[in-house]
Amino acid sequence: MPLARVLTKAAKQALLTPGCGCQTAAIAVRTISFSPRQVTSDASFHSVSFSETDHPKVLITGGLGQLGVGLAKLLRKRFGNSNVILSDIRKPSTQVFHSGPFIYSDILDYKNLREIVVNNRITWLVHYSALLSAVGEANVPLARAVNITGLHNILDIAAEHGLRLFVPSTIGAFGPTSPRNPTPDLCIQRPRTIYGVSKVHAELMGEYYHHRYGLDFRCLRYPGIISADSQPGGGTTDYAVAIFHDAIKSGKFECNLKPDTRLPMMYIDDCLRATLEIMEAPADQLSMRTYNINAMSFTPEELATEIRKQLPDFEISYNLDQVRQAIADSWPMNFDDNNARNDWGWKHDYDLPELVTTMLNYIGSESRIARAN
């Protein structure tokens, strides 16, 4: 069945230009044909050990964000350096560029994306390109283009070429009418941000392509992800990263959420390992295609209390960002991830004390090195 709508160059430019009259942009329809065949779900590279010929060839879009570089490092260690390609529209740092294959890729450019998949014989596609919650609310046309139009290109290419596709979802895929404590895998969602709406769209489209065309689609709803070696990227849970940098730098932090705002969180190492595990899981172990995963749940005040156990003079103050607070108040307070734990053995390693110790040690050592230089 012919599928896919994509933007002409002119329409894309209109969407990417803030303040433009996006509703007047010319839209052209290009059709791509592929058979509604069943893509083999249980590929040979599910086993714990891999031979050289069985290694997947992985493309990561949006690879220079919070998660892409870390996932590439993990996958390269497992599958070999040349088998994992990072891609983005931004120029990589020298360190990232020399760490393994990197290629320019714009997910709104269907032809370029398709050429990359074909020329590099890609078998796994990890789609990290997206605008996060707070940034998306500030530029809805851009978020719609990247998070929805870009996704459509990814889905069509993945289905056409029989790829295993991972698209992350988020706590932001739920809304104020969702059960919040805990939030199960299946419930009413109805998010109120363009980021959340686009992620529900991704979940449903991916599952539709799986059932209709046999696409091997896999999705995890990430909680707030905390990492020491990346800067906040415009998300509502960013305070839980920034607080550690400020605690080391100045001993003080101004939080833009209320002290009792409870949200599910996860250390990045757990997040990346979960992503690899769901991609390797045999298809017959998956009772669904979109799973919650969780590790811990805390408030800003609880996090500050844990930090004070190691930095007794640490001070926190509050200056609310009404947009981010409204977003946080519509999100889950805690995730029910029993299906992931039962189906494919998900288990987190980091609780709050381990998280705080790891973050402070890492950022503290980096700060000492910087001062020494």
220-228: average pLDDT: 94
> SS3 of 350, please?
coil
Catalytic residue among 110, 128, 195, 291: 195
**In the structure, what pLDDT confidence band is assigned to residue 132 with cuts at 50, 70 and 90?**
confident
Element (H, E) at 273: helix 268-280
What is the pLDDT, as a whole number, of residue 229?
80
The string over 37-69, giving b where at least 16 C-beta atoms fall within 10 Å of a residue's C-beta and e elsewhere, is eebebebebbeeebeeeebbbbbbbbbbbbbbb
234-240: average pLDDT: 86
Q: pTM of this prediction?
A: 0.84
What is the pLDDT, as a whole number, of residue 365?
80
Structure confidence by residue, pLDDT tens digits, 177-209: 999 999 999 999 999 999 999 999 999 999 999
CATH architecture of the region 23-43+52-226+267-295+333-349:
3-Layer(aba) Sandwich (3.40)
**In the structure, what pLDDT confidence band is assigned to residue 232 with cuts at 50, 70 and 90?**
low
Which residue has tokens 């529900």? 200
What is the pLDDT, as a whole number, of residue 235?
79
269-273: average pLDDT: 98
> SS3 of 159, please?
helix
Structure confidence by residue, pLDDT tens digits, 77-110: 999 999 999 999 999 999 999 999 999 999 999 9
Domain boundaries, the chain: 23-43+52-226+267-295+333-349
**In the structure, what pLDDT confidence band is assigned to residue 157 with cuts at 50, 70 and 90?**
very high
pLDDT at 24 over 80: no
HSE-up of residue 262 (Cα within 13 Å, Cβ side): 11
112-116: average pLDDT: 97
195 flagged as catalytic: yes
Structure confidence by residue, pLDDT tens digits, 38-48: 333 333 333 33
Q: 371 or 67: whose pLDDT is higher? A: 67
